[in-house]
Amino acid sequence: EARIARFAEEHGFLALPKSNTRPGVGDVVRIVPNHVCVVVNMADEVVMVRGDEIVGILPVAARGKLR
């Protein structure tokens, strides 16, 4: 089982035991972080997903307002 070894604001590091299948370049790995405040401020929109389905897209009203 993969686990998150550590997180930074824009990226994370996975710990993968030797027995795990490793994701390849371009594979999608879904991770739910514990907070996203800085990253959301750098995006124009938020894509809402339920399972494998996109259920909505919202603009980020505060985009770039952090000083």
Across the 67 residues of the chain, what is the mean pLDDT of every consecutive 10-residue run?
78 78 83 74 88 94 74
pLDDT of residue 59: 93
- In angstroms, the CA 27 to CA 58 distance is 25
**Whether the Cβ atoms of residue 49 and residue 55 lie closer than 8 Å to each other:** yes
**Token pair of 10 as six digits:** 């824009």
pLDDT of residue 20: 65
Q: What is the distance, to the nearest Å, from the Cα of residue 32 to the centroid of all Cα atoms in its chain?
A: 6
pLDDT of residue 17: 80
pLDDT of residue 67: 65
pTM of the predicted structure, to 2 decimals: 0.49
- In angstroms, the CA 9 to CA 35 distance is 9
Q: What is the distance, to the nearest Å, from the Cα of residue 53 to the centroid of all Cα atoms in its chain?
A: 16
**Token pair of 15 as six digits:** 């710990």
